[in-house]
Amino acid sequence: NSPRSDATTDAQGVALLPLLESGDPYTVTLAGFAPAAQTYSGEAQADLSIVPNTVAGTAVDATTGEPVPGAIIYVYDKTSCQGEACRGSEPAVLVDANADGTFLVEGMPADPQVMIKAPGYSLLFPDALQAGDCNAPYCLQAELQPFEARGFYVPFHYLYNRDLIESRLDLIEQSDVLNAVVVDMKSDYGEIAWEPKNAVAQEIGVYQEDVMSAQEFLAEAQKRGIYTIARFVTFKDNALAEGKPEWALSKKSNPGVLWKDGEDLAWVDPYRDEVRQYEIDLAKELAEIGFDEVQFDYFRFTGQRDHNLLTYSVESTPENRREAISSFSRELMAALKPYGAFTSIDVFGSIILNGNEPLIGQN
């Protein structure tokens, strides 16, 4: 409906609204600010405050001053979380910076908590947003500190020994060089170290109750200021294959019997939507727990020389394998993006030399 009356404020922020009647609602809008509304009660003068909800800025390298492409700006409501506690929560607003590092974030909550993430840099939580000359109410020069993870790997079976875990974390804390740890959270056998929400994971019993849980491990590492990388074994998933054999690989010559690799472990079919959704759901749960990074291993097909000997849900050609891995990568990254965790994928070194590995689908 058309308004009965409208007006533009002057330099002092004053506007005259004729024709208003008691009980009429009215709204004040201004670019870069959240709309504010109230109801007219017959008063001669009414004051109405508007709150900025837009920030413009640039993500730059703190050491070189160069723009940082690929930065992601997360904005949370401070009434829900503050600082590091926001990791693992879904943001109120999420924006990708441009190739030159510039960004414009609109629709922020009244009390925003901003977090900025870019590969190769530490997370940035700006203390406060300030006014400036940037064509927005708030301006932000986001200076990102370069970060290089240096740590060691903790295999899944170590999680059965809390004292051993704490001694390893102490070594990192006391080191002048180390600052990170890679820990199995979804093992080569498909076991996991947290109680899952996913119904299939609950059904097939992949949670190992006797291990130090993901939450406990994370708390101990964070207490020591250690960067945490959760290793997540993907399609080499013996537990899922045994629990859902119809989703697993078998030999065409011996249907119904699980095919196993040289480690006597079964694999699941990367083409199947059910398999992909299962892996995505568990990865999201892990990101929600709050790890700094989730690292995906065995993010590929088996190295079996003749895929035609195995049962897949679709014909497994080199082209189909490449597309399956590429499309799953996009799906997974999109699903994890809101949670703020960094992501990485283990790839064969020969990819650098050959450009692709047709057997495993990595390109």
The answer on 215 and 69 residing in a single domain is: no
The answer on 201 and 77 residing in a single domain is: no
pLDDT tens, residue by residue, 120-138? 999 999 987 887 778 888 8
Rounded mean pLDDT of 144-171? Answer: 98
The answer on 293 and 252 residing in a single domain is: yes
The pLDDT, as a whole number, for residue 279 is 98
The pLDDT, as a whole number, for residue 361 is 80
The answer on 155 and 73 residing in a single domain is: no
The pLDDT, as a whole number, for residue 51 is 86
CATH of the domain at 324: 3.20.20.70
- Is 232 part of a structural domain of the chain? yes
Strand partners, 186: 192, 232
The answer on 156 and 91 residing in a single domain is: no
- Is 14 part of a structural domain of the chain? no
pLDDT tens, residue by residue, 3-48? 777 889 988 888 888 878 888 888 888 888 888 888 989 888 888 8
Rounded mean pLDDT of 325-349? Answer: 94
144: its two tokens:
């990102």
Please report, rounded to a whole number, the percentage of residues in the chain having pLDDT higher than 70.
Answer: 98
Q: Tokens 């986001």 belong to which residue? A: 142
- Is 241 part of a structural domain of the chain? yes
The answer on 175 and 108 residing in a single domain is: no
Tell whether the model's pLDDT for residue 356 goes beyond 70: no
Total tally of structural domains belonging to the chain: 2
Angle (deg, nearest 10), helices 318-336 and 273-289? 30
pLDDT band, residue 232 (cuts 50/70/90): very high
The answer on 108 and 180 residing in a single domain is: no
Rounded mean pLDDT of 218-239? Answer: 98
pLDDT band, residue 255 (cuts 50/70/90): confident
- Is 50 part of a structural domain of the chain? no
Rounded mean pLDDT of 47-65? Answer: 92
Name the residue range of residue 211's domain. Answer: 151-354
Distance CA 199, CA 202 (A): 5
Q: Which of 126, 144, 162 is the last residue of a domain?
A: 144
Helix segments in the chain, DSSP class H: 162-174, 199-204, 214-223, 238-243, 273-289, 318-336, 350-354
The answer on 124 and 109 residing in a single domain is: yes
- Is 332 part of a structural domain of the chain? yes
Rounded mean pLDDT of 180-185? Answer: 99
> Phi and psi at residue 229, in whole multiples of 5°?
-120, 115
Q: Report CA Rg, the chain.
A: 26
Please report, rounded to a whole number, the percentage of residues in the chain having pLDDT higher than 90.
Answer: 71
The answer on 270 and 133 residing in a single domain is: no
The pLDDT, as a whole number, for residue 1 is 67
pLDDT band, residue 52 (cuts 50/70/90): confident
The pLDDT, as a whole number, for residue 353 is 75
The pLDDT, as a whole number, for residue 154 is 98
Q: Which of 83, 112, 144 is the last residue of a domain?
A: 144
Average pLDDT taken over every residue of the chain: 93
The answer on 128 and 165 residing in a single domain is: no
- Is 196 part of a structural domain of the chain? yes
Distance CA 59, CA 102 (A): 6
Phi-psi group of 84: left, alpha or beta (phi > 0 → left; psi -120 to 50 → alpha; rest → beta) = alpha
- Is 279 part of a structural domain of the chain? yes
Strand partners, 44: none
CA atoms within 13 A on the CB side of 319: 1
Q: Which has the minimum average pLDDT: 10-24, 60-74, 115-129, 269-283?
A: 10-24
Rounded mean pLDDT of 305-314? Answer: 88
- Is 303 part of a structural domain of the chain? yes
The answer on 171 and 129 residing in a single domain is: no
The answer on 163 and 90 residing in a single domain is: no
